[in-house]
């Protein structure tokens, strides 16, 4: 199935509650798009549509970048596990010189491209698994809601800490996911994010923007 057609047929253009400056192609309800993806999955090996929702950690990190543009202005930003692209779009709007969104899900990559066009910003997208890679051009690394499962969270956080050791500013947006590291983090901001009970176990989540500290 064509990813662009699937996105248009199963989402609506919506502004996340914490980041009204950004519009995204999002699912208005979880069940229909999950069912549609499961049906497509049987035919085309499509992963679950995590990209179709504005998760609390990503919203918090996007809000932080828009409110503190000095963190990314004029800098190369790598957004890891980019999902819908909300953080990457916020970085571009905040004045980043270049933004690279890394997302291994090809449907998510298509949604990032569509959402970037919707918001009038330029974002490069890669579907390569970049965990473990180091590039001298990367100056700021961002990641929203990336600590939701093992072993990926363990691999990712070890890699992100190594990037911090190389001098990158590494920022995570997280609403208390199970596999967030318990050490080596400095709080940068805290936001109460309205959520849906389709996605979370409550009507709002306290999401924190963390800086990963080099040990």
The superfamily in CATH containing domain 55-212 is Vaccinia Virus protein VP39 (3.40.50.150)
* Of residues 41 and 144, more confidently modeled: 144
Q: What is the mean pLDDT of residues 22-51?
A: 70
Tokens of 70: 């000095």
Residues 6+ apart with CB under 8 A from 37: 46, 47, 48, 49
Q: Is the pLDDT of residue 101 over 70?
A: yes
Instruction: Express as a percent the part of the chain with pLDDT over 70.
Output: 87
Q: What is the pLDDT of residue 112?
A: 97
Q: Which uninterrupted H or E stretch holds 187?
A: strand 185-194
Q: Is the pLDDT of residue 33 over 70?
A: no
Q: Which of 1-10, 31-40, 72-81, 125-134 has the lowest mean pLDDT?
A: 31-40
Tokens of 147: 């600590």
Q: Could you check whether the bond before residue 20 is cis, i.e. omega within 30 degrees of 0?
A: no
Beta pairing, strands 204-212 & 185-194: antiparallel
Give residue-wise pLDDT tens across range 41-69: 555 556 677 888 899 999 999 999 999 99
Average pLDDT, the chain: 89
pTM of the model: 0.91
Q: What is the pLDDT of residue 113?
A: 97
Neighbouring CB atoms inside 10 A of 154's CB total: 13
Give residue-wise pLDDT tens across range 105-140: 999 999 999 999 999 999 999 999 999 998 989 999
Residues 6+ apart with CB under 8 A from 94: 65, 66, 68, 69, 71, 72, 73
Q: What is the pLDDT of residue 30?
A: 59
The whole-angstrom separation of Cα 160 and Cα 33 is 32
Instruction: Express as a percent the part of the chain with pLDDT over 90.
Output: 64
């Amino acid at each position: 199935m064509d990813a662009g057609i699937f996105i248009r047929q199963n989402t609506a253009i919506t502004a996340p509650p914490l980041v009204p400056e950004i519009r995204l192609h999002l699912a208005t309800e979880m069940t229909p798009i999950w069912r549609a993806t499961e049906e497509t999955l049987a035919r085309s090996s499509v992963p679950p549509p995590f990209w179709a929702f504005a998760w609390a950690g990503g919203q918090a990190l996007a809000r932080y970048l828009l409110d503190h543009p000095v963190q990314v202005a004029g800098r190369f930003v790598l957004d890891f596990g980019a999902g819908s692209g909300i953080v990457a779009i916020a970085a571009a709007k905040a004045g980043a010189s270049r933004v690279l969104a890394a997302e291994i899900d090809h449907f998510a990559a298509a949604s990032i491209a569509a959402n970037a066009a919707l918001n009038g910003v330029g974002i490069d997208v890669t579907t390569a698994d970049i965990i473990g890679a180091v590039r001298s051009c990367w100056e700021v690394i961002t990641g929203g809601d990336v600590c939701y499962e093992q072993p990926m969270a363990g691999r990712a956080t070890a890699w992100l800490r190594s990037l911090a050791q190389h001098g990158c500013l590494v920022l995570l947006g997280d609403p208390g996911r199970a596999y967030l590291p318990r050490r080596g983090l400095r709080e940068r901001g805290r936001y109460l994010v309205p959520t849906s009970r389709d996605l979370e176990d409550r009507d709002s989540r306290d999401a924190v923007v963390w800086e990963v500290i080099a040990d």
